[in-house]
Amino acid sequence: MADSLKAPVHPPVSTTASAVDLRPRDRLGRTLRDLRISVTDRCNFRCPYCMPREVFGPDHVFLPESAVLRDDEIVRLARAFIRAGVNKLRITGGEPLMRAGLPALLARLAALPDAADLSLTTNGWMLARLAPDLAAAGLHRVNVSLDALDDAIFGRMNGRDFGARRVLDGIEAALAAGLGVKVNMVVQRGVNDTEILPMARHFRARGITLRFIEYMDVGTSNGWRMDQVVAAKDIVARLHADHALEPVGPNYHGEVAARYRYVGTTTEIGIISSVTEPFCSACHRARLSADGRLFTCLFASTGTDLRGALRSGLDDEALFALVSGVWRARSDRYSDERAERLARGEHPDKIEMSYIGG
Ligand SMILES: C[S@@+](CC[C@H](N)C(=O)[O-])C[C@H]1O[C@@H](n2cnc3c(N)ncnc32)[C@H](O)[C@@H]1O
Ligand code: SF4
């Protein structure tokens, strides 16, 4: 890759706490800024890289309703996380639009004092119908996952033979409702990498940011292999050969996507390179599973049971102390260590992405 196209560097996190910055810092000096909240472990797709049919088939046992956090529990937890420093809330799953009454929950989150940036990640299948209600509830942005335009390829990527049209209609409906829209594409070598350029051209023409995500070894069920990963630098090189790109600096410290702009346009792309160029030192993200377990790393094996704490009657002060304490104890940096751990033959029992929230 040409030097001028090198991905913007993720700056190291300062470990010097400023006099006014009372946010908890973890053992590597990282603050907590970003919370992903999974609102369901269920999904209407069976993307083989996330919920392969062989594992998530008819016999798979999903969480019972009583185990899933209720709206009021999610709102209380969000308040504690915002107090601990979170300024971005992202609703995810499973497929979050499958949660009944989601707009009402969003409205409560949007109304929180110091309301954080509120966004949602969805496969877009139910978006055309729900977009107006989501926008009216106060949602700011959606990230729509779409791995191909070609129906045959997309059908394989979603595991259900669903075509792309309905997701594209969902994207248009979200734009029409006034929501910010970005599109996420997981790239898997030999499965959908032929779609990199068609997707790029389509969304460039629409002026929509497309973000390419390296295929990751989340969970244990997708049979991930390194040779299925198309490296970020190769994706950028292919795009640059089609239409010149220029790097754009990060919007904020710790932004996970390296950003580029198509020269002569205002349209950007993003690249999320957590496999080939890990960014653990700038990771400010925690994840809450649908049943209220707190995970401090996407590749974690264990989490902290916040639902149990909530249901045992913990008050807001104790809840804040619990959340802050978990963050302070954090030292995980799996992506940085991946290569060494795999070389040592270590295969940790990682949580599935559909459960932990992507
Ligand atoms: C787990 S999904 C949950 C939200 C929603 N169902 C969706 O697909 O957007 C969140 C994101 O994780 C991505 N994802 C899932 N498994 C992945 C993997 N193994 N590697 C990279 N990204 C993955 C999905 O493509 C999606 O963009
Ligand atoms: S990536 Fe999203 S849409 Fe695909 S199976 Fe996972 S949760 Fe469902």
Residue 15 has a pLDDT of 41
Report which protein residue has its CA nearest ligand 1's atom 18: 216
In terms of C-beta distances under 8 Å and separation of at least 24 residues, what long-range contacts does 77-80 make, across chains too?
77/37, 77/288, 77/292, 77/306, 77/310, 77/319, 77/323, 78/35, 78/37, 78/109, 78/112, 78/116, 79/112, 79/316, 80/316, 80/319, 80/320, 80/322, 80/323
Choice from 144, 145, 209 to test ligand 1 binding pocket (greatest atom count within 8 A of CB): 145
Q: What is the mean pLDDT of residues 201-205?
A: 98
**Percentage of residues in the chain having pLDDT higher than 90:** 70
| Index of the ligand 1 atom closest to the CA of residue 184 | 27
**Comparing 44 with 254, which gets the higher pLDDT?**
44
Query: Which of 18-27, 235-244, 298-307, 342-351 holds the top average pLDDT?
Result: 235-244
**Element containing residue 142 per DSSP (H, E):** strand 141-145
Q: What is the tens place of the pLDDT at every residue in 79-105?
A: 999 999 999 999 999 999 999 999 999
- Is pLDDT at 236 greater than 80 in this prediction? yes
Q: What is the mean pLDDT of residues 124-132?
A: 98
Cα separations (Å) of 125 from 138, 307, 311?
20, 29, 34
Choice from 36, 49, 50, 130 to test ligand 1 binding pocket (greatest atom count within 8 A of CB): 50
Indicate if the alpha-carbon torsion angle 52, 53, 54, 55 is positive or negative.
positive
Q: How far is the CA of 50 from the centre of ligand 1 (A)?
A: 7
Cα separations (Å) of 219 from 141, 205, 347?
27, 35, 10
Indicate if the alpha-carbon torsion angle 65, 67, 68, 71 is positive or negative.
positive
Q: What is the tens place of the pLDDT at every residue in 22-37?
A: 688 988 888 899 999 9
- Is pLDDT at 171 greater than 80 in this prediction? yes
Average pLDDT, the chain: 89
Residue 21 has a pLDDT of 66
CA distance 36 to 72: 17
Which residues does a 6 A CB cutoff place in the pocket of ligand 1? 43, 49-50, 92-93, 95, 121-123, 145, 184, 186, 213, 215-216, 218, 222, 353-354, 358
Q: What is the mean pLDDT of residues 329-342?
A: 74
Residue 116 has a pLDDT of 77
Q: How far is the CA of 121 from the centre of ligand 2 (A)?
A: 10
Residue 341 has a pLDDT of 74
CA distance 36 to 355: 12
Residue 358 has a pLDDT of 65
Report which protein residue has its CA nearest ligand 2's atom 4: 47
Predicted TM-score (pTM) of this structure:
0.90
Residue 13 has a pLDDT of 40
Q: What is the mean pLDDT of residues 234-242?
A: 96
Backbone angles phi, psi at 233, to 5 degrees: -65, -30
Q: Which residues contact 52 (CB under 8 A, 6 or more apart)?
A: 46, 159, 221, 222, 223
CA distance 246 to 157: 30
Q: How far is the CA of 313 from the centre of ligand 1 (A)?
A: 34
Instruction: Band the pLDDT of 293: cuts 50, 70, 90.
Output: very high
State the DSSP code for 137: H
Residue 10 has a pLDDT of 40
Q: How many CB atoms lie within 10 A of CB 15?
A: 10
Choice from 122, 144, 145 to test ligand 2 binding pocket (greatest atom count within 8 A of CB): 145
**296: helix, coil or strand?**
coil
| Ligand nearest, relative to CA of residue 93 | 1
Q: What is the mean pLDDT of residues 123-151?
A: 98
Q: Which residues of 318-352 are buried (b: 16+ CB within 10 A; e: fewer)?
A: ebbebbbebbeebebbbbeebeeeeeeeeeeebbb
State the DSSP code for 228: G
| Index of the ligand 2 atom closest to the CA of residue 125 | 3
Q: How far is the CA of 220 from the centre of ligand 1 (A)?
A: 14
Instruction: Band the pLDDT of 115: cuts 50, 70, 90.
Output: confident
**Alpha helices for the chain (secondary structure H):** 71-83, 102-110, 127-137, 151-158, 165-176, 196-206, 232-242, 306-311, 316-328, 334-343, 353-356
CA distance 195 to 185: 9
**What is the secondary structure of 56-96 as a DSSP string?**
SSTT--PPPGGGSPPHHHHHHHHHHHHHTT--EEEEESS-G
Residue 257 has a pLDDT of 85
Which residues does a 6 A CB cutoff place in the pocket of ligand 2? 43, 45-47, 50-51, 93-95, 123, 145, 354
Q: What is the tens place of the pLDDT at every residue in 30-61?
A: 889 999 999 999 999 999 999 999 999 999 99
| Index of the ligand 2 atom closest to the CA of residue 94 | 7
Residue 49 has a pLDDT of 94
Report which protein residue has its CA nearest ligand 2's atom 7: 94
Q: What is the tens place of the pLDDT at every residue in 6-20?
A: 544 343 444 444 455
| Index of the ligand 1 atom closest to the CA of residue 222 | 19
| Index of the ligand 2 atom closest to the CA of residue 43 | 8
Q: What is the mean pLDDT of residues 260-287?
A: 89
Report which protein residue has its CA nearest ligand 1's atom 11: 358
Place of tokens 């309703």: 65
Place of tokens 């957590």: 274
Q: Which residues contact 218 (CB under 8 A, 6 or more apart)?
A: 50, 224, 298, 299, 350, 351, 352, 353, 356, 358
